[in-house]
Amino acid sequence: MIKTFTQDDLVRYIYKETTTEENSEIEQAMLFDDALAKDYAELSSVVLALDGAQVAPAQSSVDAILSYSKSYHLHSA
Range of the domain at 52: 7-76
Query: What distances in angstroms separate CA 4 from CA 18, 20, 43, 75, one per listed residue?
Result: 15, 17, 17, 63
Whether 58 is in a domain gets the answer: yes
Do the beta carbons of residue 53 and residue 45 sit within 8 Å? Answer: no
Whether 2 is in a domain gets the answer: no
Whether 36 is in a domain gets the answer: yes
Whether 12 is in a domain gets the answer: yes
According to the model, what pLDDT value does residue 63 have?
A: 94
The structure's pTM equals 0.67
According to the model, what pLDDT value does residue 54 have?
A: 73
Instruction: Please give the tally of structural domains in the chain.
Output: 1
Do the beta carbons of residue 36 and residue 5 sit within 8 Å? Answer: yes
CA distance 52 to 33: 29
Query: What distances in angstroms separate CA 40 from CA 2, 14, 70, one per listed residue?
Result: 18, 8, 49
Whether 22 is in a domain gets the answer: yes
CA distance 6 to 11: 9
The percentage of the chain sitting over the pLDDT mark of 90, rounded to a whole number, equals 73
pLDDT at residue 77 greater than cutoff 60: no
User: Model confidence over 52-73: pLDDT tens digits?
Assistant: 887 888 999 999 999 998 887 6
More confident residue, 34 or 53: 34
